[in-house]
Chain A
Amino acid sequence: MAFADYFPLPQKWIPRGLRSKPCRHFMPDGSPMYGVVAEYDTAASVYHAAEKVRDAGFKAWDMHSPFPMHGVEDAMGFERTKLPLMVGVVALSGAAAGYLMQWWITAVDFPVTVQGKPPGAWEPFIPITFEVGVLSSAFAALFGMLAMNGLPRFHHPLFKSERFLASSDDKFFIAIEAHDEKFNPEGVRRLLESTGASRVDLVGAE
Chain B
Amino acid sequence: MSQITGEAYQRRLERLAAHPAMANDNVTLPKGSWTGAARALIGLGVAGLLMTVAGAFVYNAKHAVASYSVGVLCVTAISLGALFWTMVFHQTNAGWHATIRRQLENIMMNLPLCVGLIAVMLIVELASGGLLFSWMRPEYADSPLLTAKRSWLNEPFLVVRFFIYAGVWTLLATKLYRFSVDQDRTGDRFLNNRARFTSAWGLLAFALTTGFFAFDFIMAMDFRFFSTMWGVYYFASGPFSCMAVLLIVTGMLRLRGRLTGVVGNEHVHDMAKLLFGMNVFWAYIAFGQYFLIWYGNIPEETAWVVYRKQGGWENLAAVLAIGHFLIPFLILLLRPVKRHPALAAAAGAWLLLMLVMDMFWLVRPMVYTPASGLKSPGPGAMWVDLAAIVGVGCLWAGVLARRIASGPLIPLKDPRLPEALDHRNYV
A residues within 8 Å of B by Cβ?
A: 70-71, 84, 88, 115-116, 123-124, 126
Stretch at the interface among B44-52, B165-173, B287-295, B365-373: B287-295
Main secondary structure of the interface of A (DSSP, over half): helix
Known: A116-B297, A123-B295, A126-B291. A70 touches B426 (CB 8 A): yes
The reply to whether B335 and A84 contact each other, CB–CB distance below 8 Å, is yes
* Contact sample, A vs B, 6 pairs, CB 8 Å cutoff: A71-B426, A88-B333, A123-B290, A123-B291, A124-B295, A126-B287
- Which residues of chain B have C-beta atoms less than 8 A from A70's C-beta? 424, 426
Residues of A within 8 A of B287 (CB): 126
A115–B294 alpha-carbon span in the complex (Å):
11
Q: List the 10 shortest-distance A-B pairs measured between CB atoms, nearest first.
A: A70-B426, A123-B294, A123-B291, A88-B333, A71-B426, A116-B297, A126-B287, A84-B335, A126-B291, A123-B295
What per-residue 1/0 map shows which CB atoms of B412-427 lie under 8 Å from chain A?
Answer: 0000000000001010
Output the nearest chain A residue to B335 by Cβ-Cβ distance: A84
Q: How far is the CB of A70 from chain B (nearest CB, A)?
A: 4
Within 8 A of A (CB), among B270-297: 287, 290-291, 294-295, 297
A23 to B415, CA, bound (A): 57
Instruction: Name the distance in Å between A73's Cβ and chain B's nearest Cβ.
Output: 9
Tell me the minimal C-beta distance from B92 to chain A in angstroms. Answer: 21
Of chain A, the residue at the smallest CB distance from B291 is A123
Cα distance, A130 to B290, chains bound together (Å)? 17
Q: Tell me the bound Cα distance from A162 to B335 in angstroms.
A: 41
Looking at the assembled complex, report how far the CB atom of B61 sits from the nearest CB atom of chain A, in whole angstroms.
37
CB contacts (< 8 Å) of A84 on chain B: these are: 335
Which residues in B have their C-beta under 8 angstroms from that of A124? 295
Give bound CA distance, A124 to B333, whole Å. 25
Could you tell me the distance in whole angstroms from the C-beta of B184 to the nearest C-beta in chain A? Answer: 32
Residues of A contacting B294 in the complex (Cβ-Cβ under 8 angstroms) = 123
- Give the chain B neighbours of A126 by CB distance below 8 A: 287, 291
Complex Cα distance, B335 from A126, in Å, reads 26
A84 vs B333: C-alpha distance in the bound complex, in angstroms?
10
- Which residues of B sit under 8 angstroms from A115, Cβ to Cβ? 295
Query: A71 CA to B266 CA in the complex, in Å?
Result: 14
- CA–CA, A126 and B288, complex, Å: 11
> Considering the chains assembled together, what is the distance between the CA atoms of A70 and B295 in angstroms?
48
In the assembled complex, the CB of A61 is this many whole angstroms from the nearest CB of chain B, namely 21
- State in angstroms the CA–CA spacing of A170 and B291 once bound together: 53
Q: Smallest CB–CB gap between B388 and chain A, Å?
A: 33
Contact residues in B for A123 (Cβ distance below 8 Å): 290-291, 294-295
**13 further interface pairs, Cβ-Cβ under 8 Å (given A123-B290, A123-B294):** A70-B424, A70-B426, A71-B424, A71-B426, A84-B335, A88-B333, A115-B295, A116-B297, A123-B291, A123-B295, A124-B295, A126-B287, A126-B291
Q: Among residues 307 to 345 in chain B, which have CB atoms less than 8 Å away from a CB atom of chain A?
A: 333, 335
Residues of B within 8 A of A88 (CB): 333
Closest chain B residue to A91, Cβ basis: B333
Complexed CA–CA distance, A186 and B326 (Å): 58
Across-interface contacts of B295 in A (CB, < 8 A)? 115, 123-124
Chain B contacts for A116, CB-based, 8 A = 297
| Residues on A with beta carbons closer than 8 Å to the beta carbon of B424 | 70-71
CA separation between A12 and B424, bound complex, in Å? 50
Q: Which residues of A contact B291 (CB under 8 A)?
A: 123, 126
In angstroms, how far is the closest chain A Cβ from the Cβ of B331? 12
Distance between Cα atoms of A115 and B335 in the complex (Å)? 42
On chain A, the residues within 8 Å of B426 by CB distance are 70-71
Residue of B nearest to A73 (CB): B426
Assembled-state Cα–Cα distance A88/B331 (Å):
12
Q: Give the CA-CA distance A126 to B294 in the complex, in Å.
A: 13
**Cα distance, A115 to B297, chains bound together (Å):** 10
Beta-carbon nearest neighbor of B321 in chain A: A122
Q: How far is the CB of A94 from chain B (nearest CB, A)?
A: 15
Give the complex CA separation of A45 and B426 in angstroms: 20
Closest chain A residue to B333, Cβ basis = A88
Q: List chain A residues, Cβ under 8 A from B290.
A: 123
A71 to B294, CA, bound (A): 49
Bound together, the chains give a CA A116 to CA B302 distance in angstroms of 14
- Once bound together, how far apart are the Cα atoms of A204 and B326, in whole Å? 54
Which residue of chain B lies nearest to A84 when distances are taken between CB atoms in the complex? B335
Residues of B within 8 A of A71 (CB): 424, 426
A116 to B291, CA, bound (A): 15
CB distance from A86 to the nearest CB of B (A): 13
Query: Chain B: which residue is nearest A115 at the CB level?
Result: B295
Determine how close the nearest CB of chain B comes to the CB of A51; give it in whole angstroms: 17
Tell me the bound Cα distance from A116 to B297 in angstroms.
9
Q: How far is the CA of A126 from the CA of B284 in the complex (A)?
A: 11
Q: How far apart sit A34 and B291, CA to CA, in the bound complex (Å)?
A: 61
Distance between Cα atoms of A115 and B295 in the complex (Å): 9
CB distance from B337 to the nearest CB of A (A): 13
Distance from A132 Cβ to chain B, minimum over Cβ atoms (Å): 17
The minimal Cβ–Cβ distance linking B424 to chain A, given in whole angstroms, is 8
With the chains together, A126 CA to B333 CA distance in Å? 19
A63 to chain B, nearest CB (A): 16
Chain B 383-427 near chain A by CB (<8 Å), digits 1 or 0: 000000000000000000000000000000000000000001010
Q: Shortest beta-carbon distance, B26 to chain A, in Å?
A: 25
Cα distance, A29 to B294, chains bound together (Å)? 78
Min Cβ gap A140→B in Å is 14
Distance in angstroms from B149 CB to nearest chain A CB is 29
Give the Cβ gap from A47 to chain B, nearest Cβ, in Å: 13
Shortest C-beta distance, A4 to chain B (Å), equals: 32
Bound form: Cα–Cα A88–B291 in Å: 26
